Amino acid sequence: MMTKLTSYIFLLLMFCTVSIAADVSYGSLNENIQKGYKITKETSSQKMKTFTLKNKSNEVIVCLVDFRDQETRCWKP
């Protein structure tokens, strides 16, 4: 009985942390530049452009600008 309860609690906590982590947003490229991040690397193709950003604490954010959908996605690697 106790091992089943422990297993259920463990699974519940695993699902909670996954759902919380998925909701983290790092905003747009412009928002991150306004927060003090600097562009350190830029790569491009015909359909998209990738920017690597760093701040003074050496935290890294990668932003992908998609020209087809006209949207920007940023995340911490």
**Run of H or E residues at 58:** none
Q: What is the model's pTM?
A: 0.65
**pLDDT, position 28:** 87
pLDDT at 17 over 60: no
**pLDDT, position 21:** 46
User: In a 10 Å sphere around its CB, with 0-12 CB exposed, 13-18 middle and 19+ buried, how is residue 48 labelled?
Assistant: middle
φ, ψ (nearest 5 deg) of residue 43: -130, 150
- Number of Cα atoms under 13 Å in the Cβ half of residue 17: 5
